Amino acid sequence: MSTPFLSRFTPSLMPPETLEALFVQRHALAERIVELIRESITTPSKHHNLLIGPRGIGKSHLVSVVYHRINAIPELRERALTAWLREEEWGVTSFLDLLLRICRALSESYRDTFPTGALQELFESSRDVAEHKGAVLLREFVGDRTLLLIVENLDELFKGLGSEGQKKLRSYLEENQFCTILATSQSLFSGVSLQSSPFYGFFRIHHLEELKFEQAVDLVRNIATFLKDNKLAAFIQTPTGRARIRAVHHLAGGNHRVYVIFSEFLTRESLDALVDPFMRMLDDLTPYYQARIAWLSPQQRKIVEHLCEQRGAVPVKELSRRCFVTHQTATSQLKTLRENGYVRSETRGRESFYELREPLMRLCIELKKNRGGPIRLIVDFLRLWHSRTELEQRLLALQPDASVEREYLSFAIKAYDEGQEDLRVAACLTDLQSCVRKGDYESALHVTEELVAIRGESADLLRQGLNLARLDRHEDALAAFDKALQLDPYNANAWVSRAIELRFLNRDEDALVALDKAVELDPNISHAWILRGLSFARLDRDEEALAAFDKAVELDPQYAHAWVHRGIALGVLNRYE
């Protein structure tokens, strides 16, 4: 049985069932666009939609899904014609050229009804006459139906049309209200953003967001289900599997296309099985990134090249110093690069920091620069793919003649020894904070499980225990805290956390033992003394409870709860004065 076809670069080649099976993240947007096109087809109101996002983010996939959904509705299929232009319409330099491309697309889709003879006659006429006849031909062929015009890379097409061609197109669309446009562009461009442009305010603009981590997991799960890859489906449910998807997420920057590529070897273990397809993927993508850099101005290329050499976000003043440009110039160029999807920024205090939006761009450029074995590139990849312990285990298991693999693994372990940040851990911690802020403790628990799988430190087990406690899984939380204490028995807060879970399980005697250990390690934790008091109170050891609350008040006189519990304890002892 043949493996189902997954296109990495041309989603329109895939059947609608495959497109829907892999579709993630943008269900609401797809439904909204289908509804706008439905209204355009069935009413006089015409809507025009423009999808904005860098290559590989899923624009063509979304367009294909919308196209097939529209085509699957009999009423819309009967009342509309679709002209889907080629992805790269390089030859469009005028309004006439665009008319010819639209007519060509219609003649290919509606061979039995499109008047190809009338189209051929246009080439016998002068440019002005051909433009007039082409406009009439298109209008008459559409008739009382609606034309759904699908245009990918609208920014490039508008560049070819020029100002005059854009004005003619806008005028034609205003005079002939029979068209609804679904278009894409890699970034917002002057043809639609400038107030002086003919198409300013014409499109409903939808900026496509990158995949978040959980959406990336959904995509890989959909791929596994579609391919009937049970091994992959089971693997991504494990903490190690999620950790590997997070590694891909760091490399891909939320890029849909890369997940389709990486899903092919997500479960592979040997270095050859990992590195070879990884390098082939980079080799495939390198021409694309080279072309993207070629579109930039020299100053912008210099900035991008510097960011490619960095491992993280860089402040503007550092960029201006290293690129020998003024701060104002660097800020201006970075603004343009951010608008065009090359970089992202974040504010830290009063400074703005910039980094490449797509980490794969750095890797591809580094691949081209290497002259004798891409050590740093593969080391980075291995550090994202395996924990330090896994790398050490693989190094010990190597055959004596595996010299190349030994070199790569040794370099990766050395990077850990030098204290280089584990990028997966940093990503996990960021996601964990986000999940906790949103109160999404199930997702937070998944992240802590990844942290335990990646690093397995006492702090990771404590985080896991806290999220289990938030989910009222107190036995599991207690087990996590016990494991954390096995790794670090001198952590007073871990003993406090253990005591809290023991109290939830009505094991107050055991809780007191844990709290004794906590205050022995750090006698200044006022919360530990309150917990001691509460456990004493529940065991009817009221004098000891009062003494514990007195200690909590002594440590923190502003702690209102300590005063409240002290008052209750005094009441129990009939000391109302």
- Same domain flag for 161 and 308: no
Close Cβ partners of 214 (under 8 Å, ≥ 6 residues apart) = 443
- Same domain flag for 199 and 305: no
Which residues in 469-482 are b (16+ Cβ under 10 Å) and which e?
beeebbebbbbbbe
Residue 154 in any domain: the answer is yes
- Same domain flag for 195 and 321: no
Residue 300 in any domain: the answer is yes
Q: How far apart are CA 456 and CA 451, in angstroms?
A: 6
Instruction: Give yes or no for residue 182 having a pLDDT over 90.
Output: yes
- High-pLDDT (> 70) share of the chain, %: 91
pLDDT of residue 270: 61
- Same domain flag for 197 and 305: no
- Same domain flag for 310 and 183: no
Mean pLDDT lowest among 62-71, 254-263, 440-449: 254-263
- Same domain flag for 299 and 161: no
CA distances to 375, 376, 377, 427 from 372, rounded to whole Å, are: 9, 11, 12, 31
Instruction: Give yes or no for residue 372 having a pLDDT over 60.
Output: no
User: Hey, how many other C-beta atoms are within 10 angstroms of the C-beta on 372?
Assistant: 5
Q: Residue 444's closest CA among 414, 422, 471?
A: 471
Residue 95 in any domain: the answer is yes
CA distances to 27, 53, 56, 212, 377 from 248, rounded to whole Å, are: 23, 20, 14, 12, 14
- Same domain flag for 192 and 296: no
Q: In which residue are the tokens 């050891």 written?
A: 541
Residue 347 in any domain: the answer is yes
Q: How far apart are CA 508 and CA 535, in angstroms?
A: 5
Which tokens is 26 given? Answer: 């943008």
- Same domain flag for 163 and 25: yes
Q: State which of 343, 359, 375 marks the end of a domain.
A: 359
Number of domains present in the structure of the chain: 2
pLDDT of residue 121: 92
CATH value at residue 149: 3.40.50.300
Better-scored residue on pLDDT, 312 or 472: 472
pLDDT in tens, 441-494: 998 999 999 889 888 899 999 999 999 999 999 999 999 999 999 999 999 999
Domain of 354? Answer: 291-359
- Same domain flag for 307 and 201: no
- For the chain, the C-alpha Rg in angstroms (whole number) is 31
- Same domain flag for 190 and 301: no
Count the residues in the chain: 577
User: Hey, how many other C-beta atoms are within 10 angstroms of the C-beta on 408?
Assistant: 22
pLDDT of residue 374: 45
Residue 574 in any domain: the answer is no
- High-pLDDT (> 90) share of the chain, %: 49
pLDDT of residue 428: 84
Q: How far apart are CA 489 and CA 517, in angstroms?
A: 10
pLDDT of residue 97: 96
Q: State which of 207, 227, 253 marks the end of a domain.
A: 207
Q: What are 183's strand-pairing partners?
A: 50, 151
- Same domain flag for 179 and 298: no
Residue 71 in any domain: the answer is yes
- What is the DSSP pairing of strand 314-315 with strand 80-84? unpaired
- Same domain flag for 71 and 186: yes
CATH value at residue 328: 1.10.10.10
- What is the DSSP pairing of strand 343-348 with strand 351-356? antiparallel
Residue 168 in any domain: the answer is yes
Q: State which of 166, 184, 207 marks the end of a domain.
A: 207
Q: How far apart are CA 509 and CA 502, in angstroms?
A: 9
Q: Which amino acid is at 73?
A: I
Which tokens is 188 given? Answer: 């917002």
